[in-house]
């Protein structure tokens, strides 16, 4: 019997707000422990939380980006549990009336497009962080109360690779929308994985096993690569799986039982009495809708069709959004957008990395790239000279035409001048000349290179090639 995996993912993302969810404390990573805290996020008695307006907007914006429904009524609930990093002994979340319902994430997978439906995205608060030292433990509450969005997928993911691509596509959308930076190093994205297996062709979902608190997508992939075969193995041997929560041990490359269903929490959800339900108005929705951006996948597809870029270039401009924006400042006015893309991806990006400069601090305007492309296209300069022009333009910000003029780099297409240089190259290299005559066509390239050298890169290489060929065949 063959088995298939059924995977659903719950992705927790810290929202990019200035302050926490219910108080004015800074939503800031890396501060000294317990410095971004107040009576509200420490859960002291008698305090009153006030919902962060921007967090509500970012949640709705996420819903709009995922084509979800934004219900006209949402509320907050208390999820009760005792844990040292939860100062209130409950977490405020959204239980039965979330801020968004449904939605879809579309992404490239297996050479085509895959779609995963979203159940809901709801708003809640992050918890503090426990630290265990040699002789004692401590809790840092700086993270307690940071707005957290939980995005729950339908159990439609069928394998580790698909899970990995889904997660990457999801965070790319969230980054594009300015919802979150999704910085894994800072723990801004965490993921719970629900995975079960069933015989192929059946509909009933097997015993659901949850792998908690994954903080890297590659670890999710590794955990599934371990867990799916493990479950299939148990069933094939006639064993039983039980619903449980497991932990991924990245060092040992295995999952292990954390708690079984019998030990599952009863969270005793009830409506949060200190917070008003939320009923978005039309004006509020319109304000959020104005922040909807083009999604990464749509952008990639548009770059390919609008500018005839290869998929790899379009992908680069989608991943590196500022670089893509830079390209689009000139692409529509360029007769050869692909050439402009080459300069930006190959030269500009490399020079930026090498010099530690950013696009915002560039000394030249994007239009300089246009001018450079046109000078090569119209054969005013050779492509090797263009490289030097680019380097100089990067350093001093001068216009390409001015740089060419200053250095006397204009391409020589005048056949008289090139003819003289071809004669010199032939006279100075009897060996390669003999090789060429003996049928070694590659020797022509060597001779062409010599002519380019004599001309200091200014000779039109095509003209040089033609003249050389003519002269060699005649001699």
* Binding site residues, Zn ion, CB under 5 A: 23, 25, 38, 40-41
Residue whose C-alpha is closest to residue 407's, from 393, 425, 427:
393
DSSP secondary structure letters along 333-388: T-S-HHHHHHIIIIIIHHHHHHHT--GGG-SS-THHHHHHHHHHHTTSS-HHHHHH
The dihedral region occupied by 308, where left means phi > 0, alpha psi between -120 and 50, and beta the remainder, is: left
Determine contact, residues 66/173, Cβ cutoff 8 Å.
Answer: yes
- Residue 148 backbone phi and psi in degrees, to 5: -130, 130
CB of 28 to Zn ion, least distance (A): 12
State in angstroms the smallest separation of the CB of 145 from Zn ion. 6
Number of CB atoms found within 10 A of residue 8's CB: 21
Smaller CB distance to Zn ion: residue 128 or 280? 128
CB 49 → Zn ion: shortest distance, Å? 9
Nearer to Zn ion, 23 or 148 (CB): 23
Q: Which of 51, 54, 78, 67 is nearest to 101 (CA)?
A: 67
Least distance to Zn ion, CB of residue 203, Å: 47
Least Cβ distance, residue 41 to Zn ion (angstroms): 3
Q: Which residues of 294-321 are buried (b: 16+ CB within 10 A; e: fewer)?
A: ebbbebbbebeeebebeeebbbbbbebe
The residue (of 34 and 407) whose beta carbon lies closer to Zn ion is 34
Q: Which residue has the tokens 């503090």?
A: 128
Q: How far apart are CA 370 and CA 376, in angstroms?
A: 10
Nearest-angstrom CA–CA distance, 426 and 171? 60
Contact by Cβ (8 Å): 89, 44? no
How near is the Cβ of 125 to Zn ion at its closest, in Å?
11
Angle at 347 between CA 343 and CA 350, to 5 degrees: 145
Give the tokens for residue 397: 């910000």
Cβ proximity to Zn ion, 20 vs 122, nearer residue: 20
Tell me whether residue 76 or residue 107 sits nearer to Zn ion (CB atom). Answer: 76
What is the number of residues in the chain?
A: 475
Select 38 or 139, whichever has its Cβ closest to Zn ion.
38
41 vs 341, beta carbon nearer Zn ion = 41
In angstroms, what is the minimal distance from the CB of 80 to Zn ion? 21
Nearer to Zn ion by Cβ, of 41 and 375: the residue is 41
- Cβ of residue 16: shortest distance to Zn ion, in angstroms? 18
Closest separation in Å from C-beta 26 to Zn ion: 9
The label of the residue with tokens 């200091």 reads 456
What pairs with residue 254 in β-bridges?
Answer: 249
Q: Given the complex with Zn ion, which of 6 and 41 has the nearer CB atom? A: 41
């Amino acid at each position: 019997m063959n088995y298939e995996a059924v995977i659903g993912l719950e992705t927790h993302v810290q929202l990019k707000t200035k302050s926490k969810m219910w108080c004015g404390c800074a939503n800031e990573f890396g501060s000294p422990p317990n410095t971004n805290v107040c009576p509200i996020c420490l859960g002291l008695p008698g305090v009153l939380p006030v919902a962060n307006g921007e967090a509500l907007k970012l949640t709705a914006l996420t819903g709009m980006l995922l084509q979800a429904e934004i219900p006209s009524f949402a509320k907050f609930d208390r999820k009760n549990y005792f844990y040292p990093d939860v100062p209130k002994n409950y977490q405020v979340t959204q239980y039965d009336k979330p801020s968004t319902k449904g939605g879809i994430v579309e992404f490239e997978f297996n050479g085509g497009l895959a779609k995963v439906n979203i159940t809901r995205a709801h708003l809640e608060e992050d918890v503090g962080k426990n630290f265990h030292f040699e002789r004692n433990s401590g809790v840092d509450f700086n993270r307690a109360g940071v707005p957290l969005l939980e995005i729950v997928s339908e159990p439609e993911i069928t394998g580790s690779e698909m899970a990995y691509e889904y997660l990457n596509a999801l965070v790319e959308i969230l980054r594009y929308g300015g919802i979150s930076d999704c910085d894994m190093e800072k723990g801004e994205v965490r993921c719970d994985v629900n995975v079960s297996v069933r015989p192929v062709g059946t509909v009933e979902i097997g015993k659901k096993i949850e792998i908690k608190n994954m903080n890297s997508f590659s670890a999710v992939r590794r955990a599934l690569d371990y867990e799916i075969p493990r479950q299939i193995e148990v069933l094939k041997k006639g064993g039983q799986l039980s619903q449980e929560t497991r932990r991924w041990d990245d060092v040992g490359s295995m999952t292990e039982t954390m708690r079984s269903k019998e030990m599952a929490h009863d969270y005793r959800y009830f409506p949060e009495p200190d917070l008003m339900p939320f009923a978005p108005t039309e004006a509020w929705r319109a304000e959020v809708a104005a922040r909807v951006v083009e999604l990464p996948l749509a952008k990639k597809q548009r770059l390919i069709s609008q500018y005839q870029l290869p998929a790899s270039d379009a992908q680069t401009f989608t991943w590196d959004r500022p670089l893509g924006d830079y390209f689009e400042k000139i692409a529509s006015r360029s007769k050869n957008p692909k050439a402009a893309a080459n300069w930006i991806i190959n030269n500009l990006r490399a020079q930026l990395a090498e010099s530690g400069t950013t696009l915002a601090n560039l000394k030249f305007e994007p239009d300089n790239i246009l001018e450079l492309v046109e000078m090569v296209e119209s054969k005013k300069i050779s492509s090797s000279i263009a490289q030097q022009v680019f380097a100089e333009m990067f350093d001093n910000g001068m216009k390409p035409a001015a740089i060419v003029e200053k250095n006397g780099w204009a391409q020589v297409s005048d056949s008289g001048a090139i003819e003289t240089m071809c004669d010199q190259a032939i006279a100075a290299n009897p060996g390669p000349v003999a090789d060429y005559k003996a049928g070694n066509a590659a020797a022509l390239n060597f001779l062409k290179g010599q002519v380019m050298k004599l001309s200091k890169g200014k000779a039109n290489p095509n003209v040089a090639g033609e003249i050389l060929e003519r002269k060699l065949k005649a001699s």
